[in-house]
Amino acid sequence: MSRIAVVPGSFDPVTLGHIDVIGRAAGLFDQVHVLVVHNPDKAALLPIAQRVSLIEQSIRDAGLPTNILVTSWSMGLLVDYCTDVGATVLVKGIRSQIDVAYETPMAIVNRNLAGVETVFLLPNPEHAHVSSSLVRQVAALGGDVSPYVPRSVAQYLQHP
């Protein structure tokens, strides 16, 4: 049986930490769906289609395996997408105890809703301080985001 995992997130924009986790997931599962989801709790910087395109470009540039599909979802529960595509696992990157506290309730609710388990992966510690919200803030104030994001994202943020 082919094991499909979904890596969901806002990816606004995708960071080097995200790419690290996506690459690790691709090594563990037969297929990985990177799913861009609108998070109503966060003010968006990039349109969803642009986020998808930047993730695709970043995956190509990083030379990640070809078992990764990038798409978006706006039609309801995350677990509905999982059920539709036959995915049994969600993958989340964990940088700190703060992430554990944020992710744990969602993981339990998603398991209760549809039996979808969540696997937490640890990114390379060099990315432990990187977040999309920090990147958005630095970019908005004219700072250099290139240490934190793939090259295509840094270029896009400089010249949208």
Residues annotated as catalytic are 18, 42, 95, 132
Residue 92 bridge partners (DSSP): 120
Give the residue with the Cβ less far from ligand PNS, 19 or 159: 19
Minimum Å gap between C-beta 99 and ligand PNS is: 9
Exposed, middle or buried, 47 (CB in 10 Å: 0-12/13-18/19+)?
exposed
Q: How far apart are CA 59 and CA 65, in angstroms?
A: 8
* Residues at the interface with ligand PNS (CB under 6 A): 8-10, 37, 39, 42, 77-78, 106, 109-110
Pick 9 or 150: Cβ nearer ligand PNS:
9
CB closer to ligand PNS, 38 vs 151: 38
Specify the residue for token string 């990177």. Answer: 34
Whole-number minimum distance, CB 156 to ligand PNS, in Å?
Answer: 18
Question: Minimal distance in Å, beta carbon 82 to ligand PNS?
Answer: 10
Nearest Cα to 157, choosing from 33, 149, 68, 128?
149
